[in-house]
Structure 1
Amino acid sequence: MKVTTILTFILIGFIGNAQVVVDSINAKIYVDRVQEIELDKNELQEKTNRWVAKNYNNSKYVTRINNEDNILIKGAFDVGADFSAFGATLYSERKVEYTLDLKFKDGKYKIDISDLLFDGIDATRALSVYFMSYDEYKTFSLKAMEEYDGMGKKAAIKRINNDDKFRKDYESQQNYGKKIIPQIVDKLSQIDLSLLSYLKNQDMKDEW
């Protein structure tokens, strides 16, 4: 995979920054930062609990840890965009699951939003495709076919080796990635800023 600088999307809000890292080298999207705030540890944990109760209140969210030091939640949201293949264009939706890990100390908290899954599968493989060059994607696809032993293998290899057809497949993947990655960045940013806003008692929308 081509060596690319890690991109950091910084959203400047009324009350602070939300930083979502798009790591094209390791094919990961995440938030991992420490926020200083004028609250003691107990106040931070109590207010965060109220924020969790407000925003994570249905069956698609699961709280795994909740104590004075740490709150860990499994959450999810949907993204989607048009995807074109074999002459047809359809709207393709992805369920993005994530882990929200919050740790508290006097005067600060650490927020980590990571471990993304696409429809229950580690998102790293899919994200890596969106960051590949054409040649990298072709090599990746041929290797995948070497490990595949089902129906349609010969036809798939033939298509991969047809530059005109396979380039269209590659462009479709890239176009889809360019549409859903900003949606993921926006969702993670909303979560980050929502919590910060709530803890600072600012009138900033904290729903997403």
Structure 2
Amino acid sequence: MKKVILTAFLFFSIYSYSQSTEFVLNKDGFTDYLVIDAPQKSASMLYEKTIEWINKTYNNPREVIKANIKDDYVRLEGIKSDLYCYSPLGLPVCFDVRYQIEVSFKDNKYKFDIAQLEEYVKPSQYTSGGWRGLMTDNSTSGFFKKDGSIKGGYKNYLQNIPDYFNNLQKSLSDYINSTGMQAQKKDW
């Protein structure tokens, strides 16, 4: 019986530590989603705080929210200018990135899921341009050498992608936990 309990404890410990707490981009891929604990917060409260956060964070919140089901999930779409860069000949070439994030809610936790990433390629004589998948199928092999190190042209820029989404998720978490942006009181 002790062995069964010990095995169950070890399995639970390994599982709980395997949950990502921040987005990471490496040769194995890009973190798919994060599950964030929100103790003593109902799914309804998490939903309401997320809608408030979107309204305060984005310039055009009605255009940003692409779908929502009350107390279940919100899908939003945003664009970040010059988020994805590389430096083929020492000069940076940057691309705007369009993303979709789904935030799903359960009592005491929410899931922050990057559902889609696309880069904008400007039209040229070689390409018609437009939005195209970035890290499609979670493939990041083009950014890394076989030994796992970052290819030279991406070295100074690749961390921008996970940093941006980590900061965005932290902003939401802070708002939910009331340590971030607060409603401004207007003294009349």
TM, length-normalised to structure 1: 0.60
Aligned length: 147
Classify 1:112/1:81 alpha carbon distance in 2 versus 1 (closer, same or farther; 3 Å): closer
CA distance in 2, matches of 1:75, 1:110: 18
Classify 1:72/1:82 alpha carbon distance in 2 versus 1 (closer, same or farther; 3 Å): closer
After TM superposition, where is structure 1 displaced by more than 4 Å over at least 4 residues in a row?
none
CA distance in 1, matches of 2:114, 2:86: 26
Classify 1:30/1:63 alpha carbon distance in 2 versus 1 (closer, same or farther; 3 Å): same
Pairwise CA distance, 1:203: 4.2
Match of 1:123 in 2: 134
Match of 1:66 in 2: 68
Instruction: Please list every run of 5 or more consecutive structure 2 residues that lacks an aligned counterpart in the other structure.
Output: 1-19, 121-130, 183-188
| Identical-residue share of aligned pairs (%) | 25
CA distance in 2, matches of 1:19, 1:121: 25
TM, length-normalised to structure 2: 0.66
Match of 1:51 in 2: 53
Normalized per residue, the structure richer in strand is 1
**SS state at 1:45 partner:** helix
| Residue of structure 1 aligned with 2:27, choices 20, 24, 29 | 24
Which residue identity is paired with 1:24? K
Which residue identity is paired with 2:153? Y
Pairwise CA distance, 1:116: 1.6
Pairwise CA distance, 1:107: 2.0
Normalized per residue, the structure richer in helix is 1
Classify 1:46/1:184 alpha carbon distance in 2 versus 1 (closer, same or farther; 3 Å): same
CA distance in 2, matches of 1:112, 1:39: 19
CA distance in 2, matches of 1:190, 1:18: 12
1:1-208 mapped onto 2 (5 Å cutoff): 18-25=21-28, 27-58=29-60, 62-68=64-70, 69-77=72-80, 78-79=82-83, 81=85, 83-85=87-89, 89-119=90-120, 120-124=131-135, 127-133=140-146, 174-203=151-180
